[in-house]
Amino acid sequence: FRDRTAFFKLVVIMAGASGGGLVAYADARSDLDLASSHGPTKKKVVILGTGWAGTSFLRNLDSSLYDVQVISPRNYFAFTPLLPSVTCGSVEARSIVEPIRNIMRKKKGEIKFWEAECFKIDPANKKVHCRYTTAPNSGWTDEFLVNYDYLVIAIGAKANTFNIPGVEENCHFLKEVDDAQKIRRSVMDCFERASLPNLDEDERKKNLHFVIVGGGPTGVEFAAELHDFVSEDLSKLYPSVYGLVKIEVIEAGEHILTMFDKRISRFAEEKFQRDGIDLKTGFRVVKVSEKDITMTSKSTGEFSEPYGMAVWSTGIGTRPVIVDFMKQIGQGNRRVLATDEWLRVCGCDGIYAVGDCASISQRKVVEDIAEIFRIADKDNSGTLTVKEIQDVLEDFCMRYPQLELYLKSKRMSSILELLKDSKGDAMKEAIEVDIEEFRKALTDVDSQVKTLPATAQVAAQQGNYLARCFNKMKDTEEHPEGPLRFRGSGRHQFRPFRYKHLGQFAPLGGEQAAAQLPGDWISIGHSSQWLWYSVYASKQVSWRTRLLVISDWTRRFIFGRDSSCM
């Protein structure tokens, strides 16, 4: 064949003739129902994304019950907590990824995977519009449609630049494996450039000025990794320029690691000071050019500094496809998709959202409170009896288990006291509470609803929860003997999603880590680093990656990190 296109055309014609029909060659957009070969009874489940939430859903789903299709621009799962280790070669990129087809292979039934990105969700017609990520400019139709009965959106989030000029063009992000590899190359490039013979000292210093914007867990972990890489490995390889290295962390808030206990935040700040990492808290970056980074603070006003490499790690933003979808379904003013506690996207039929792209809606909480009151105040009197209050509280806590403790401790305490006092007292059974007062107290709880953190832990637990619901869906439809309040009128058959916090780590470099475990148990130091090693080894999705990661750690202990720049 003279060119590849001609060859591909022939393959497509042959595939079409043999009934495959997967890829269509046409100029117009092809509407392909990539539907099942399993027969008509199986419902089509389409999963968008192969990250923590999507993969956890896929791994726990009984795939023999559904016609499952997975769509993602990357054909692997990546263990993101180890991405900072990839930036400095402590762990190799290949060691933290698992091909999604390996995971699919171990599942029952036939699962299909399309390496493509979804660029539009059409809830009215129950279709997703997808685009092949390969074959650019080849003359092929690179868009197709997939029908679904149930759609699970698990496409995560993108890095948030807050529209600060120059960030997109000049900074590195640390979200994907590819990003980590680029950072690794860039660090080595900076050292090689700084070592060239014809540079003056200022130019060498500029090249070796590493700026990390954002003092959250990712920024802090990367700064610590980079410091270790420089002091343990690169100091031996680049002795003439080693002394010129400057690592700087810029944080807009007053402290770093604010999502951790204050003791951890303080320890990290002191450790960074001892390590010579320049910590600038209370500074806000306002512009990044090719050569300079401009920031401002109350005390200094605006100023610029030259830099060699900048990593932007200031949190997450919404992917364009989600922004578009939210506009379609009347959630245009939100940052992430609103779901109810069963992870169903509010206002949509058969669409679920899990992981970083979704959160439980606070507006939904307010609507729910109104509904609970409507149910409880049967005689429409505007007052509730003690029994009715008990029902309201029970229903509320069932729907919002995470608020139960709050409810007990805060403004509700006086009402709960009232309930307690009335126990066994026939007279007090008749006490009525002003419904407006009570409603106000409950609605106040709503403002305390903390959206769950955007972490792998939440995403994985949501994926797992949703898969278990899907596994029981048919059964519960046939035998709907669940709690009364979840039956009929659109209520879901299952208990709501309940997040179980298992603790969090912050590796701080020098073989030290901070761990904040359930019950606010804090541990900082070398022992926590060993706990970190064992937890992260055990959390790997396969024995293959587990062995690769452990062997990378062993290699680093013996030979140090690899500084080659490939």
Report d(CA 298, CA 304) in Å as an integer: 15
Q: Which is nearer to ligand FAD, 141 or 457 (CB)?
A: 457
In sequence order, the 6+-apart residues with CB closer than 8 A to the CB of 243 are none
Q: Give the per-residue contact string, 267-306, with ligand FAD (x = CB under 6 A; - = no).
A: ----------------------------------------
How many Cβ atoms are within 10 Å of 400's Cβ, its own excluded?
A: 23
Nearer to ligand FAD, 128 or 449 (CB): 128
Q: How many residues bind ligand FAD (CB under 6 A)?
A: 33
74 near ligand FAD, rule: CB under 6 A? yes
Q: Given 3-state DSSP classes, what are the helix, strand and coil percentages for the chain, each rounded to the nearest 5? A: 40, 20, 35
Cα torsion at 361, 363, 369, 370 (round to 10°)? -140
If binding is defined by CB under 6 A, does position 160 make contact with ligand FAD? no
Indicate the residue among 464 and 471 with the shorter CB distance to ligand FAD. Answer: 464
Cβ distance to ligand FAD smaller for residue 454 or 531: 454
When binding is defined by CB under 6 A, the residue of 63, 72, 385, 512 that contacts ligand FAD is 72
For ligand FAD, which stretch binds (CB under 6 A), given 22-30, 350-358, 378-386, 541-549?
350-358
Binding mask 216-235 toward ligand FAD (x if CB under 6 A, else -) reads --x-----------------
| Site membership for ligand FAD, residue 360 (CB under 6 A) | no
Residue from 63, 69, 147, 455 binding ligand FAD (CB under 6 A): 455
The CB-of-191 to ligand FAD minimum distance in angstroms stands at 22
What secondary structure does DSSP assign to 517-551, as a single string? ETTTEEEEEHHHHHHHHHHHHHT-SSHHHHHHHHH
Which helix H or strand E contains 399, and what residues bound it?
helix 386-399
Contact pick of 59, 63, 67, 81 for ligand FAD (by CB under 6 A): 81
Stretch near ligand FAD under the rule CB under 6 A, chosen from 160-168, 354-362, 434-442, 478-486: 354-362
Residue 175 near ligand FAD by CB under 6 A: yes
Question: Nearer to ligand FAD by C-beta: 147 or 422?
Answer: 147
| Residue 403 interacts with ligand FAD (CB under 6 A): yes or no | no
| DSSP strand pairing (111-122 vs 67-72) | parallel
Cα–Cα distance for residue pair 536/266, rounded to 1 Å: 24
Q: Establish if 71 lies at the interface with ligand FAD (CB under 6 A).
A: yes
CB-CB contact of 185 with 88 (8 Å): no
Q: Is 208 left (phi over 0), alpha (psi -120 to 50) or beta?
A: alpha
CB distance 513 to 530 below 8 Å: no
Structure tokens at 64: 């023999």
**Which DSSP string corresponds to 151-188?**
EEE----EE--TT-TTHHHH-EE-SSHHHHHHHHHHHH
Work out whether 459 is an interface residue with ligand FAD (CB under 6 A). yes
Stretch that binds ligand FAD, among 228-236, 353-361, 408-416, 484-492 (CB under 6 A): 353-361
212 - beta bridge partners? 249, 311
- In the complex, minimum distance from the CB of residue 476 to ligand FAD, in angstroms, rounded to a whole number: 26
What is the smallest separation between the CB atom of 411 and ligand FAD, expressed in angstroms?
32
Min dist CB 54 to ligand FAD, Å, is: 6
- Alpha-carbon gap, residue 104 to 190, rounded angstroms: 41
Over the window 299 to 328, marking each residue x when it contacts ligand FAD by CB under 6 A and - when it does not, the resulting string is: --------------------x-x-------
Binding mask 14-53 for ligand FAD (x = CB under 6 A): ----------------------------------xxxxxx
Give least dist CB 171 to ligand FAD, A: 14
Region binding ligand FAD by CB under 6 A among candidate stretches 68-76, 103-111, 477-485, 523-531: 68-76
154 sits near ligand FAD (criterion: CB under 6 A): yes
Closest CA to 308 of 245, 385, 237, 392: 245
Polymer length of the chain: 566
β-pairing, 504-509 vs 512-517, is: antiparallel
Q: Give residues with Cβ within 8 angstroms of 234, minimum separation 6.
A: 191, 242, 245, 563
Output the smallest distance, CB 395 to ligand FAD, in A: 30
Q: Name the CA dihedral angle for 258, 260, 264, 269, rounded to a multiple of 10 degrees.
A: -20
Asked if 418 interacts with ligand FAD (CB under 6 A), we say no
Centre a 10 Å sphere on the Cβ of residue 558 and count the other Cβ atoms it contains: 7
Q: Which residue is nearest to ligand FAD (CB)?
A: 51
From 88-96, 150-158, 304-312, 471-479, give the range in contact with ligand FAD by CB under 6 A. 150-158
Alpha-carbon span 160 to 175, nearest angstrom:
11
Of these, 418, 456, 522, 531, which contacts ligand FAD (CB under 6 A)?
A: 456
- What is the per-residue burial (b if ≥16 Cβ within 10 Å, else e) of 204-225? bbbbbbbbbbbbbbbbbbbbbb
* Binding-site ranges for ligand FAD (CB under 6 A): 48-54, 71-74, 80-81, 83-84, 117-118, 154-156, 174-175, 218, 319, 321, 355-357, 454-457, 459
